[in-house]
Chain A
Amino acid sequence: MIRKWWFVVVPLVGLAEVGLHAKQLHDVVPESDWAAARASVEKSIRPDDQILFAPMWADPVGRQAFGPALLTMARAARADDSRFARVFVVSIRGSSREEVAGWRAASHERQGAVAITVFENPSYRKIVDDLVGRVRPETLSVTRLDAGDAESPCPWAPGRTQSGGTYYPAGMAIPGEKFQCPTTVVGVSVIQALDHSARRCILAAPPGAGGTLRLRFSDVAFGTSLRGHHGIHYEAERHLGGAPVTLVFKHGDRTIGQSTHRDGQGWSGFEFETAELAGQRGPLVVEISAANNTNRKYCFEADTR
């Protein structure tokens, strides 16, 4: 029987191909479902909640549908997840996000083809102070130390943002609001991390030639720890041959901690204990250096908790 009729599989596959195609067209999520999902999230979201879209490729559609009031820069280009108390995963096609794997789902609802699941973050820690928000002349001064320890100021030099281009790679955006050093700048930008994710951070490429970039943040509110992440722009880090970049945090004469970023680590985290400073306000010095600055489009973020 099978030997005689095996060929029937061909028209069956043809038929299945037509049926699947029709189903896939039917399953496209309408804008109205995205709008309904937005309205639902709007009702219950709090400032320290995050929104993630799943699958990842739906992110642009989700960002458009949810708009700038919900999809703020801090949410879209998040430095890390631990700063968010809850995460709203807005998903289609039954997808989820690996960031919330193992987290407890507090609620779940559907708006047409869009599912909204609210997860409680088991490692949430409230931010006391965020250095990324302090990159302005009132709260930060920047200098460059050359190899002989001569320190020269890097003035605040607001101008136009430099971004984009029609040839790849364009590199990361040089923000208009920045401190200008002879071979580098300091300002808030968004990095394409090694995993292609967007990370809002302080662009602070090391000056090279044995030099160090020194950032003095004033009046920082300390908590029990200082934590953060650093990375190098995707196109520069992916070649894996660049000089390691060292990041040092100091308070007065004391070194709070240091972390070295090596190519291939991607957007990697660090955390230093600051229990003795908890509840105090004061200066925080950040020093960035590397043996050379070739292709070192370095960016970091740090906050106190």
Chain B
Amino acid sequence: MDTKKTSLYQLHQHSKAKFVEFAGYQMPIQYAEGIVEEHRYTRNHSGIFDVSHMGQLFIYGQEDLVDDLERIFPLDLKNLKLNHSKYSFLMSDNAGIYDDLIITKIKDGFLIILNAACKENDYKILKELLNDKYKMILDEERSLIAIQGPKSVEILKSVIQGVENLNFMSGNWFTLDDHNIYVTRSGYTGEDGFEVSLTNEFAVRFTRRLIDKGAKLIGLGARDTLRLEAGLCLYGHELSKDKTPVEANLKWAISKERILKGNFIGSDIITKQLNHGVNKIRVGIKPEGRIIAREKTKIYSESNSEIGEITSGTFGPSVNGPVAMGYVENKFSKNDTKIFLEVRGKKHPATICGLPFYKKSYVKGVNK
């Protein structure tokens, strides 16, 4: 199969991107300035991320759809307000994670943002679970552009007036040059920012305007260091079919109301794990010194027994040191527990720590 290209492919080329194949797409891993500089620019100024490879699934329907989706997602969708978003998961019967996603209530139904590598499979699973009752469009005609970092609100509002009134995890439709644009205040970097859904034909012109206002294109490399510092999971690393949301330490994303009532896919296992605990759980890990522990690095206890594995590890430019996440046996998951990481045959000391490694506050109270 040929690799696909997003609408911004040529713009990436002009911006001296190095490309990598990711989930069947040619995507920019970095541009001329490199990952560390791109990371810092996002934290201090404003970065533009082409996330058009991600799935934008529109499902149209009314109350029936809400009921049917509540049987799938562990969310209180009946009380989800128009244009508000929630983080959630598509799970198997035993609560394994097929995908993690953002679901937003829109006027005629829901918009679900899916991971690129999972979107086709998610579409099939959802179509089957919904018995083909609703109109579902995995929209390939729209691009998705994220703008992240402290200057993003100023930059985006100078292009689309009104976005500054959005709160974190809410969105709205806007019109720009006769194009319908859906903007949510969200992202995956730990910074204030927005995700902008717009037609492919308008994507380049729109992105150039953001660049003219001082935002810079940022590649997948910095996206990874940013999300890892923010303690956010990446599907295929922290999350997979073999992990449940409770094991992934994401129980905050499961509606308490819905747990009491059960009756969603995977609810039996989730309830059991919430009541009786899990064997392994996701934690933050801070290696001592500068040693970087990458994915699949084995984790040992102080008494030298193997207790888990790293799922993501890199150098965090804003932390100015190595950072990692992984799964360890529950009894070793408390903050400040001393552990050892086996890198190139040697064991290096590290500590279990709280997440995120790097924190800023999201914008919540602008529109009261």
**Real binding pair:** no
**A residues lining the B interface (CB < 8 Å):** none
